A and B are shown apart, each in its own frame.
Chain A
Amino acid sequence: MTKELFAHNVPGSTEVLEKKCVAVAGCGGLGSNAAAALVRAGLGKLILADFDRVEESNLNRQYFFQADLGQKKVAALSHYLKAINPRIQLTVHDIKLTCDNLVSIMGPADLLVEAFDRAEEKQWLIETWSRHFPEKFMVCGNGLSGLGNTDALKVTRVGRIYFCGDGVTDRSMGLCSARVAIVANMEANVAIELLVKGQA
């Protein structure tokens, strides 16, 4: 089944990705969509961390459905990721990530995908990951709010950290599923490229 599942993947990519582990910090608009893209690409292991429950206001952009309301995001997302690829190895943490538990929870991953909402949280995640794992890559979402303006979305590298987004817009502008999903998939795309090319 798995062979057929990935029959249209880029030749040579699935064999590499199935041996790799990615950690996704947060399972909201960025994390839920990025995780789905990573599983569809053939990633072997995924570490998920989020403490939140699915709310109706999440459904405008996050990879959840009406039936998931009230469920823990990590549980609901795990269900859908397994529905895509039953062989995906998931390590799920229903927990709020902090400076103190980040290393033990996300440390086993080859690469970290940042998918937090608040800029302050993004900042400590970047600082903590970079301090403990200066050799490992991290991919962040940065500026995904508002409508349209697709041309402004870009990837910017700062050391071993890749920032995906327009670098300007703030969630106070409102969030549109299409734009959030583009940035989530940009994050997944950068992660996949780093992993397949052997850089991460």
Chain B
Amino acid sequence: MITVNSKELPWLPGMTVADVLKAMNYSYALIAVSVNDQFIARDDYDTFVVEDEADVKALHICHGG
């Protein structure tokens, strides 16, 4: 089991950040993601493997400043 934005998600061996975002139905075009407090670059979503019991955070990036 992993945690994504404080919600539990079943863990699967080899699941990537992209798999996690898909499983959570996160379709934001602009997003910031960390796994166990490590920032994950967009280019690494398809290859970064999420370990069991990981804490994943995913934030939508908003316009405005």
A contacts, CB < 8 Å to B:
26, 28-31, 114-120, 122-123, 126-127, 130-131, 134, 141-145, 156-161, 163, 165, 167-172, 175, 180
Contacts and interface: CB of A to CB of B under 8 A. Distances in A.
A157 B32 CA distance: 10
A118 B41 contact: no
Contacts of B34: 157-159, 161
- What 9 pairs between A and B have smallest CB-CB spacing? A159-B39, A171-B64, A117-B65, A158-B34, A159-B34, A143-B62, A30-B65, A119-B61, A171-B63
B30 A170 contact: no
Residue of A134, A157, A158 ringed by the most chain B CB atoms within 10 A? A158
A169 B64 CA distance: 8
Interface of B: 30, 32-34, 37-42, 57, 59-65
B62 A168 contact: yes
A123 B33 CA distance: 11
Given A144-B62, A167-B59, 13 more contacts: A26-B65, A29-B64, A122-B65, A123-B42, A126-B32, A156-B59, A158-B32, A161-B32, A167-B62, A170-B63, A170-B64, A171-B62, A172-B63
A119 B33 CA distance: 15
B59 A127 contact: no
Contact of A144 (B42, B59, B65): B65
A144 B62 CA distance: 9
B50 to A, nearest CB: 14
Contacts of A118: 63, 65
B61 A142 contact: yes
